[in-house]
Structure 1
Amino acid sequence: MGLFITNLLPGMLESCCRIRACSFKCQHRTEGVVLASITGNAIIIGGGSGIGGATAVAFAQAGAAGLMIADIDLNTAESTASDIMAILKQSDYRVEAVVMDVTDQESIESAFKKTADSFGRIDYCVTSAGDVNATGTFYVRRTALATMRAQEPKPNFPDALHRGNTRGSIVALGSALSINAAPYFIQYTTSKQAVLGLVKTAALDSVNDNIRVNCVSPCWPESNMTKQLKQDIPQLENTMASNVPMGRLGFPEEIADATLFLCSPRASLVTETSLIADGGMCVSLG
């Protein structure tokens, strides 16, 4: 069998190269398509600080038409909104703040209603509220899917209709521990693995509705929670870095970039996926 495959390999490679060269000339690569385009309206949950705050800034800079910053602390949400206005220097940019408690279904529904009323529709939902993992993701998923299912589908790319339609895209914040495990982190690991399970199930439940659901799984990002862990367990800082082959922790804006990609039309074929942004930690842990 090995010899058979070896004999076939040169011909297979030549054929693949011909197909690849052909595909670059194919009409499906439409001229003028901006693949990184973020043009719709977004709600960023947990957007008052940390990864959520960095994600809100990234969406604004990428061109989101309207942006709702949702957080249990309205002051931090409003602060992020003010920062965005200062960064963009566009007095007419549409960014608002709203209170959302992800453990309270009524609070979630109220925030989604305000977002839909303000912007007309919700194209992107990012759930980055970190204190309550599985419960918050479950409640938000339910409301986000109901809201998006009620919307009319629109092309991912108006000039490239073969890329399909969308009613919306949802990204949840997981963790490297959504995929692996670590000693003494049983509650956190269990909750983050539940987040990944919710994402996968929600993706399958909504794929025929033209809604994509994905997860970003970072490792030890420089966040408020990580800083608190370092203070509580001083020896943890060296352990964190030593377990990451890249030799450093991630930064919120790096996780925001991964989230932005999954929400964007550039990921039009991507659903039920966990994008691992961990500097190689999961591979090193086996």
Structure 2
Amino acid sequence: MKTPIFPDVFSLREEHVLITGGGTGIGFAVARSMHDAGARVVLIGRREAELAKAVESLGPGSSYLVHDITQLDAAAPLIERITKEHGPITSLVNNAGIHLKKPAIDTTPEEFQRVLTTHILGAHALCRAVEPSMIQRKHGTIIFMASMASLFGIPQVVAYSAAKSAMIGMLRTMATEFSAHGIRVNAIAPGWIETEMSRKAMEGDPARRTKIISRTPMAKFGDPSDVGWAAVYLASPASKFVTGAVLPVDGGASMGF
């Protein structure tokens, strides 16, 4: 009887994944799914208590380092340390982010810059740090966590929307530059997922939640694991001919009906 290959094409047994903002929410869901698929995972973030709790939950094959991705000059030393202690990174998930709900006219340059630094400059610094090793081995995947805010207009999130839109441009440029070297670069654009960040974004705004449900064909919020398993697909051999793509995981919200 022929041995089924279905599980193997989604296996991450040979992968070593770095996930930013991996201690909670969507980042932790990605860590959980990738770990379940066989990957070794390293979580980074600013809150050690959350990271330690996440690693304890994941078990063997997981670790963490406290790191602030806005400290751009620290990206290369971080990757060097991880490589020395745990081996080279084969997959990078740029998930860390901050949210700012504020009218565009009231958003200050300092607030705008803080959002851009976290989502764009921090992600770029880590990509620069991991890519040389990936190029040398001719193997690697980079996943950006985009957003519905990068696909259509959402009020009161001008800085966040700008950052997530810039992220899509960055991934497509990187895909054209690095895909020939065996590095695939893609993004996931989650819709409205039940996380602490999404709940905070809708605090005191029940009409907004109702509007989201009404314009989502599946008429519900997603689960963080929906994004986690999408990340497994993009990091696995199952997507070996997929690069430069933005995968909506949104219950149909981006169809624009």
Decide: shared fold, TM above 0.5.
yes
Q: Secondary structure at the match of 1:215?
A: strand
**Per-residue displacement from partner, 1:196-247 (whole Å, max 9, x unpaired)?**
1111111112122211111000111111111112223232211111111110
**Per-residue displacement from partner, 1:230-268 (whole Å, max 9, x unpaired)?**
223232211111111110011111011111111111111
2:233 aligns with one of 261, 265, 268? 261
Asked whether the equivalents of residues 99 and 111 of structure 1 are also in contact (C-alpha less than 8 Å), the reply is: no
- Unmatched tracts of structure 2, length 5 or more: 99-113
Residue in structure 1 matched with residue 53 of structure 2 by the alignment: 79
Query: For residues 148 and 157 of structure 2, what CA distance do their matches in structure 1 show?
Result: 12
Residue in structure 2 matched with residue 129 of structure 1 by the alignment: 96
Deviation at 1:72, TM superposition (A): 1.3
**Per-residue displacement from partner, 1:54-82 (whole Å, max 9, x unpaired)?**
11111111001x21111111211111100
Give the alignment of 1:1-286 within 5 angstroms: 32=5, 34-39=8-13, 40-64=15-39, 66-85=40-59, 93-131=60-98, 134-136=116-118, 137-151=120-134, 166-285=138-257
Task: Decide which structure has the larger Cα Rg and report it.
Answer: 1
Q: TM-score, normalised by structure 2?
A: 0.85
* Larger RCO, structures 1/2 (Cα 8 Å, 6+ apart): 2
Deviation at 1:38, TM superposition (A): 0.4
- Structure 1 counterpart of 2:32, one-letter code: V
Q: Secondary structure at the match of 2:43?
A: strand
Q: TM-score, normalised by structure 1?
A: 0.77
Q: Secondary structure at the match of 1:255?
A: helix
Asked whether the equivalents of residues 123 and 168 of structure 1 are also in contact (C-alpha less than 8 Å), the reply is: yes
* Identical amino acids, percent of aligned pairs: 25
| CA pair 170-151 structure 1, distance change in 2 beyond 3 A | closer
- Unmatched tracts of structure 1, length 5 or more: 1-29, 86-92, 155-165
Q: CA RMSD, aligned part only?
A: 2.2
Query: For residues 214 and 136 of structure 2, what CA distance do their matches in structure 1 show?
Result: 46
Asked whether the equivalents of residues 43 and 115 of structure 1 are also in contact (C-alpha less than 8 Å), the reply is: no
Q: How many residues align?
A: 238
Asked whether the equivalents of residues 135 and 182 of structure 2 are also in contact (C-alpha less than 8 Å), the reply is: no
Larger mean CA deviation between 221-230 and 246-255 belongs to 221-230
| CA pair 263-141 structure 1, distance change in 2 beyond 3 A | farther
Query: For residues 229 and 279 of structure 1, what CA distance do their matches in structure 2 show?
Result: 19
**Per-residue displacement from partner, 1:174-213 (whole Å, max 9, x unpaired)?**
0112111123332222111111111111111212221111
- Structure 2 counterpart of 1:108, one-letter code: A
**Per-residue displacement from partner, 1:65-116 (whole Å, max 9, x unpaired)?**
x21111111211111100101xxxxxxx232110121211133333322221
Deviation at 1:135, TM superposition (A): 2.9
| CA pair 194-260 structure 1, distance change in 2 beyond 3 A | same
Asked whether the equivalents of residues 19 and 42 of structure 2 are also in contact (C-alpha less than 8 Å), the reply is: yes
Query: For residues 183 and 74 of structure 1, what CA distance do their matches in structure 2 show?
Result: 33
Q: Secondary structure at the match of 2:225?
A: helix
Query: For residues 138 and 269 of structure 1, what CA distance do their matches in structure 2 show?
Result: 27
